[in-house]
Amino acid sequence: MPPLPTPTPKELLMRVRKFIPPLLETMHKGQQGRVAVIGGSEDYTGAPFFSANASALMGADMSHVICEPQAAQVIKAYSPNIMVHPYMRQSHHREKGTDTAEEISTKIEEMLDRLHAIVIGPGLGRDSLMQDTAKLIIEAAKKKGMPFVVDADGLFLVQNHPSVVQNYTHAILTPNKAEFERLCKTMKIEPSHGDETEVCSRLAKAFGGVTIIQKGSKDYISNGKHTMVCDLKGGLKRSGGQGDTLTGCLVTFLAWKKAYQDRLWKHDNSLSDSELIALSAFGASAMTRNCSRLAYEKKGRALQAFDLSLEVGQAFKNLFESEDPKL
């Protein structure tokens, strides 16, 4: 029997549309998504904001940032639309004899029951207390069966402690080229042996079915069994922070996955859990690339990460509200 044809980008985007919840009068606050970005240190305040802001602009009802107090005041000044919680601690800001990773994570774990999905890593930094706390939060999310995205210095945590995501198929890792190569080294995979599709699949398989989005000129998406490529046109400027739009869009799709599975509106319930995760990854990749293209057309070399945020609404219309997706 010949293999089934690979779905086109338009066909994949039409499948993504199936689990985007409609805006209905019967829905109440929070049902369109409650998400949180966990990160944000005194040196890195932009990344968690860009991620949470993208989730809000995508349509999540409630977007939180859980960060270090030194970052919280700055992020609160960026926007009143993001709820900011100064619960994380860097080692040099901890109270003597208190503020252990266990104490800090307990307060954050109490919030997880009110959330649908989380991002771990934007602006997290590599401070040992921040890293240890993030590890405990991931373990708590796994116990609850919660989907999560790991990015930036969250990937440094995975690089050093791969068991934290091993075999957890509701986790999505979003490495850039350098981060991907470091993860390959951790899992004893040679990134130059095979094409990008094969290597991405091998890495996902080595992690036991974790979904990988390998970012680059094309985005390779794999869970070890199925691999997709998102090669929609993006912008040519590679400024820092564009990946935060990806994580914000992605965590919103993961929240919508929960709404779909809870049958909050009438639908055919034809998408499996693994399909929903894969389509979330593809949808977020397509959103980010479309935002990048739109922003680059306006700003050219002057493009910065915030310019992608300004295009989230238009990119969503292009891909998911037009009769024919505008790629």
Q: What is the DSSP string of 93-134?
A: GSPTT---HHHHHHHHHHHHTT-SEEEE-TT--S-HHHHHHH
- Whole domain around residue 232: which residue ranges? 31-321
| Percentage, residues of the chain above pLDDT 70 | 98
**In the prediction, which pLDDT does 281 show?**
98
Of the pLDDT bands very low, low, confident and very high (cuts 50, 70, 90), residue 99 is confident
Domain assignment present for residue 244? The answer is yes
**In the prediction, which pLDDT does 5 show?**
63
Average pLDDT over residues 293-321: 97
Res 94 pLDDT > 90: no
Residue 75 sits at the vertex; the CA angle it makes with 245 and 277, to the nearest 5 degrees, is 30
Domain assignment present for residue 14? The answer is no
Domain assignment present for residue 228? The answer is yes
Domain assignment present for residue 194? The answer is yes
Cα 47 from Cα 43, distance rounded (Å): 10
Q: With the CA atoms of 253, 144, 163 and 103 taken in that order, what torsion angle do they form, in degrees rounded to the nearest 10?
A: 110
Average pLDDT over residues 209-231: 96
CATH of the domain at 223: 3.40.1190.20
Return mean pLDDT, the chain.
95
> HSE on the CB side for 2, CA within 13 Å?
3
Enumerate residues 6+ apart whose C-beta is below 8 A from 242. 288, 292, 305, 308
For residue range 149-173, list pLDDT tens digits in order: 999 999 999 999 999 999 999 999 9
For residue range 37-48, list pLDDT tens digits in order: 999 999 999 999
Beta strands 219-222; 227-230: pairing state: antiparallel
The crossing angle, in degrees rounded to 10, of helices 46-58 and 69-78 is 50
Domain assignment present for residue 7? The answer is no
Handedness of CA 294, 295, 298, 302 (dihedral sign): negative
pTM: 0.96
Of the pLDDT bands very low, low, confident and very high (cuts 50, 70, 90), residue 97 is low
Are 215 and 181 in contact by the 8 Å Cβ rule? The answer is: no
**In the prediction, which pLDDT does 232 show?**
96
Domain assignment present for residue 108? The answer is yes
Average pLDDT over residues 237-246: 94
**In the prediction, which pLDDT does 302 show?**
97
Domain assignment present for residue 93? The answer is yes
Res 136 pLDDT > 80: yes
For residue range 256-301, list pLDDT tens digits in order: 999 999 999 999 999 999 999 999 999 999 999 999 999 999 999 9
Residue 251 sits at the vertex; the CA angle it makes with 272 and 246, to the nearest 5 degrees, is 115
Domain assignment present for residue 9? The answer is no
Structural domain tally of the chain? 1
| Percentage, residues of the chain above pLDDT 90 | 92
